[in-house]
Chain A
Amino acid sequence: MSLYQVQKFLFELNRDSSNQQSYREDPRSALSAFDLTPEERSALMKPDIGLLFHFGVNGQILMHFAAFHKIEWQDYLQRMRDGIQIHGPVREGVYAVTGYEGVPAHEQRLSRSE
């Protein structure tokens, strides 16, 4: 797995309209310069927002990728929740500190701190 490469691809896509154009025209080719596993490549082509979140892609990068694919806000949030249900806890990156940064875990923490 190469979370850094996945995020780098998305970072460059998010900030550059010519990269967006290349990805629209031929996603496989747009991804060819990045050192990705077949699973990562597939998630980026599909796009599988839930799986990308499970990989550990930062939401500040992922939400723009979702918006680029015209995924509405609530749908974006749901896809991440579904991804965690299907694939398990976030496995790397900032959210992996708690393994699963999810709504029930959060509410449990809040009720404990009150």
Chain B
Amino acid sequence: MGVEFIYPEFEVIRNENRCIACRVCERQCANEVHFFNTEHSVMVSDESKCVNCQRCVSLCPTRALKIVKSDCTLRENSNWENDTIKEIYKQANSGGVLLSSMGNPRPMPVYWDKILINASQVTNPPLDPPREPMETRVFLGRKPEKIERDETDKLKCEIPPQIELSMPVMFSAMSYGSISYNAHASLARAATEIGILYNTGEGGLHEDFYRYGKNTVVQVASGRFGVYKDYLEAGAAIEIKMGQGAKPGIGGHLPGAKIIGDVSKTRMIPEGSDAISPAPHHDIYSIEDLRQLVFSLKEATEYKKPIMVKVAAVHNIAAIASGIARSGADIIAIDGFRGGTGAAPTRIRDNVGIPIELALAAVDQRLRDEGIRNNISLVIGGSVRSSADVVKAIALGADACYIATAALLALGCHLCRTCQSGKCNWGIATQNPELVKRLNPDIGSKRLVNLMNAWRHEIKEFMGGMGINSIEALRGNRLMLRGIGMTEKELEILGISHAGE
């Protein structure tokens, strides 16, 4: 194929004074960057294959390696940036749609970072979390609208099904197929230990993980993979996936090469067949149709499980959420435009959808204005990066947050954003058994538990500072937030005052 237009993006820098030629880098790189030159007894590398996943860097026992961005540059141009030009080269070479993984990396506004949290001083004292009981538990599900009594005047205590979470965070949907068995095992075990939920994604539920059912959200997406009665009954809740923040309006495609063995069995499709999830659910063309599926699923599970509906944050999200709240769903999940993915068309990922902060504020306000906020719980995701983001989301009106990228980072992901290659050196986004076993769920689940415990401590510190001892008392409490460096319009949509006001 003639001239190569693109110079490798990274350089592998090996400190020859430190390298002991143990060849760990060579053995651990699925991209085959490193190899041993027997003639000269030195390690050499082919940086054109490097994706900067940092596996070799992390495992090198003498810290002889580092990966740096190549400073080989095209002539500077603010309109035609280096990456833009390289993408043109790629497309001119392949003729194909550009594919990307994980969340939108472009420098779009991150509203979380423009929001500041309040603390108590003098008149309403802060609380000491270690000393005073702090409640981080939340319950997701439809709340009763009024108190009802039976003929004998006794209170009717039956309420619609609820999910109990020990803290307002859940692991969001990642299918078995897009991530590995061991990644799923880590998430399932960690969710169980922490007392939260993880989500199967649309790849079905591996038979080994039915025992974690109480801490599982089972997903029903447009491809309906792996859906049958036992699956629906296995989970604590059922999620209908209408859309995903990274690729709103786009379906999914897991290549046949990945549909092997247990993935094929769990998805209930033949080995080697492509798993195509259509862009729409072909039985849902209106809120009324959605209502039918919601009640079909409720009927199938005897009204014992809350039904979630997940949508991507798009322009009319407030109206869409209002419709979902009236469809009989118990929980709405909204995924913002910075949310991750195992593979999405780059252009879609980087240009479609809206920031979750604005979507959340708009939806919460709309549901409150219409008096239906208590009919439904609100879960948001799409790049919740820290406990501070969680606290801000709750104060903007969310009941809980979905995290996935943060969870994968805890498992070892280094955000190299090449999930679509299936060669994840960290054993996460791969089905290659040799790579999958690099993620030991004993270690993975422990790291996830650590992360969530750390966040829970921090959330309590935030709450204590604000003089709030229950996370429920923070929900929708936008007076606890102030904006900085935002326009009037942005503040209006977020429903918060500017710092200093």
A and B held together in a complex:
no
Q: Which A residues are within 8 Å of any B CB, using their own CB? A: none
Q: Which B residues are within 8 Å of any A CB, using their own CB? A: none
